[in-house]
Structure 1
Amino acid sequence: MKTLYKNYINTFKGLSDEIWWLALITFINRAGTMVIPFLSLYLKEDLNFSVSQVGWIMSAFGLGSVVGSWIGGKLTDKIGYYKVMVRSLLATGVLFIALQFLNTFVSLCIGIFIVMMVADAFRPAIFVALNTYSKPENKIRSLTLIRLAINLGFSAGPAIGGMIITGLGYAGLFWVDGITCVLAALVMIKVLNPKKAKVLDELKNDNPVSVYKDHAFLVFFIAMVLFGIVFLQYFSSITIYYKDVHLLSEFEIGLILGMNGFVIFIFEMPLIKWLERTAFTKLWLVFFGAVLTGISFLILNFTSWSGILIIGMLLVTFGEMVAFPFSNAFAIERAKKGNQGEYMALYSISFSVAHIFGHNAGLQLSAGIGFENTWYIITGLAFICAVLLFSLNRRLNNLKKIQL
């Protein structure tokens, strides 16, 4: 046991102090994002919107994310990641608190669009910050540490969120979300001043390639949109499936979602360090993660036993543990061809586009043709994503052989 613990701790060695501060800021922020996993339930149960209306509101969520990621990438290249991150966190905190006072369909579509536009300007900026504060050999582990902070926050968030809903109602979630965003901004201002932080890998490209001319990255973008559509079902339609089909309470749903973050916290860093030493390419590993995520939905149709929900959650957890760090790493590596903010914005936008279509499609399909047929369709999308990644991996490997 002592050896296992020592080996686990060793996986974190060599990361810069700035990366650890970014991880803390991310944890504080994400620990409060307990509104997001419960948003579809809040709209359906507390505000009594129909499933169709919830789907359209979640599309506004995704559209705001697309616009915010694009703006965030442009601003990051123009004014720098630090200013973008601080301003995004502060403004998001205020907007989350205000969001609870909206209760009509139109006002919520507009309100959620604005909140996500401001909140997701943060995403391209933090990717560029990670690239700047990491040594080249530590980039994947740095990304993984940030994901650990995100998932540790998500592990605590849904479980605490379920208890808050039970005791105080949904309104308490918005206050916690807002306050934690402001706290994260204050910590960043205090400890991560760019004048004092140590830059380890600053890249300046005098002749950047436009991301929109990088055909390989555009194929990767499409694959990530499909992966996002599949994965995001765990933040909208799956929670309703848990409640309506398996009759779970909000607290039980929170525990299952929290298990995802806990497993990631324990296993992801050792797993990533081990995978880095293998011969697998980044794209092949993303392909494998997409396959596991697709299977997590397929098996839900095999039995009515509620224990299958835990197995499905474990499959998607290991799928995302492999897919997200290495897709991040592939995007950052590719970004050296052009403006980093532009590349990382498009990477972020892939998941924002998934927000537009994924939540709405899953909710509309489940309402129209039932959850069983919906899970078959979602599995099919995961298969298409896997095929694209497999083909792109072969193409890039062949290009490398020709260049050699």
Structure 2
Amino acid sequence: MKTLFRNYINTFGGLSREVWWLALITLINRAGTMVIPFLSLYLTKSLHFNLADVGWIMTAFGLGSVVGSWIGGKLTDKIGFYKVMVFSLLSTGLLFIFLQFLTTFTTFCIGIFLVMLIADMFRPAMFVALSSYSKLENKTRSVTLIRLAINLGFSAGPAIGGIIITTLSYGGLFWVDGITCIVAALVLINVLHPKKSKTLDNIKVDSPQSAYHDRSFLIFLCAMVVFGIVFLQYFSTMPLYYKDAHHLNELEIGILLGMNGFLIFVFEMPLIKWLENSTFTKTGLMLFGAILTGLSFLILNLTSWAGVLIIGMLLMTFGEMIAFPFSNAFAMDRAKKGNQGEYMALYSISFSIAHIFGHNAGLQMVAGFGFDKTWYFTTILAGLCVFLLFLLKQRMRIKPV
């Protein structure tokens, strides 16, 4: 047992001090992100919007994310990642607190758009910071550590959020979200000032290539958009499926979603360490992750047994565990050819686009055709993602640069 624990701890070795600080800041920030998993429930139960309205609100959510990621990438290349990260965290905290006071469809659409615009300026800046503070051989594990922080916070967040909802109200979630963003900003200001930090990978390209001309990267982005649409169903339509089809309450939904984060916290770093030392390529691993995620939806239609929800969550969790770290590492590797902010902004935007279409399409399909047909369609989308990643894998064999 001691040997197993020692081996687990050793998988975290060699990561820089700055990466650990980034992970702590991310943990504080994500620990309070309780509103997002319950947003569809909040909008239907507390504000009494119908599913079509919720779908359009989620589209506003995604549009804000796209604009914020694009602006964040531009600002990161111009003024640096540090200023962008501080501004984003502080402003997002205030906006989250304010969001709870918006109760009409129009004002909530505008409010969630502004929240996500400011919040997602953080993402490309954080990716560039992570790349700068990581040695080349540690970048995938550095990404994995950040994901562990996200999922550790997320494993506690929904469970605590479910308790807050059942004992107090949804309003408390907005206060927690806002306060934790502000706390994360204060920690960032105090521990990660650029003058005190050591840059390990300072990439300077004399003639940077535009990410828009990198065909392999564009195929990769298309695959990530489709994967994002599939994956995001677990945060919009899936909670409704748990509630309406299997009659779970908010606390049970929170625990089931929290299981995802807990499993990632325990297993992802050792898994990534093992896969990094294997002969598998990044594109091949992303492809396998997409297959597992697609299967997590297909099996839901095979039986009405409640235990299938746990099996589906396990398949999705391991699919996510493999696909996301290696997709992120792939994007950071390609970013060395051009402006890092532009590359990482486009990577972030791929998931923002998924937010625009994924939530709305899933909710509209559930409202119009039911859960079963929605899960079949989602499985087909996962198959399209697998096909695109297969094309990328073949292209990388011929033209790896």
CA shift for structure 1 position 399? 2.3
Aligned to 1:291: 291
Equivalent position SS for 1:306: coil
Aligned to 2:42: 42
Pairwise mapping of residues 296-307 of structure 1 onto structure 2 (< 5 A)? 296-307=296-307
Cα deviation, 1:311-361, whole Å, max 9, x if unaligned, reads 000100000000000000000000011100000000000000000000000
Aligned to 2:366: 366
2-side partners of 1:77 and 1:206: how far apart?
14
Cα deviation, 1:284-307, whole Å, max 9, x if unaligned, reads 100100000000000000001111
2-side partners of 1:261 and 1:293: how far apart?
15
Pairwise mapping of residues 1-400 of structure 1 onto structure 2 (< 5 A)? 1-400=1-400
Cα deviation, 1:34-84, whole Å, max 9, x if unaligned, reads 100000110011110000000000000000000000000000000000000
In structure 1, list runs of 5 or more residues that go unmatched: none
2-side partners of 1:319 and 1:240: how far apart?
22
Equivalent position SS for 2:370: helix
1-side partners of 2:398 and 2:71: how far apart?
35
Cα deviation, 1:222-271, whole Å, max 9, x if unaligned, reads 10000000000000000000000000000000000000000000000000
2-side partners of 1:62 and 1:372: how far apart?
25
AA paired with 2:30?
Answer: R
1-side partners of 2:81 and 2:339: how far apart?
13
Cα deviation, 1:138-181, whole Å, max 9, x if unaligned, reads 00000000000000000000000000000111000000000000
2-side partners of 1:327 and 1:305: how far apart?
33
Please list every run of at least 4 consecutive aligned residues from structure 1 whose deviation after the TM superposition is greater than 2 angstroms: none
1-side partners of 2:160 and 2:154: how far apart?
10
2-side partners of 1:120 and 1:356: how far apart?
14
Equivalent position SS for 1:198: coil
AA paired with 1:395?
Answer: R
Relative to the length of structure 1, the TM-score reads 0.99
2-side partners of 1:95 and 1:167: how far apart?
24
In structure 2, list runs of 5 or more residues that go unmatched: none
2-side partners of 1:381 and 1:209: how far apart?
31
CA shift for structure 1 position 363? 0.3
Q: State the identity %.
A: 73
AA paired with 2:378?
Answer: I
CA shift for structure 1 position 398? 1.8
CA shift for structure 1 position 20? 0.4
CA shift for structure 1 position 209? 0.5
Relative to the length of structure 2, the TM-score reads 0.99
AA paired with 1:315?
Answer: L
2-side partners of 1:236 and 1:389: how far apart?
25
Number of residue pairs matched by the alignment? 401
1-side partners of 2:275 and 2:18: how far apart?
24
AA paired with 1:4?
Answer: L
1-side partners of 2:306 and 2:202: how far apart?
49
1-side partners of 2:284 and 2:41: how far apart?
35
2-side partners of 1:234 and 1:97: how far apart?
25
1-side partners of 2:123 and 2:206: how far apart?
24
CA shift for structure 1 position 206? 1.3
2-side partners of 1:214 and 1:279: how far apart?
25
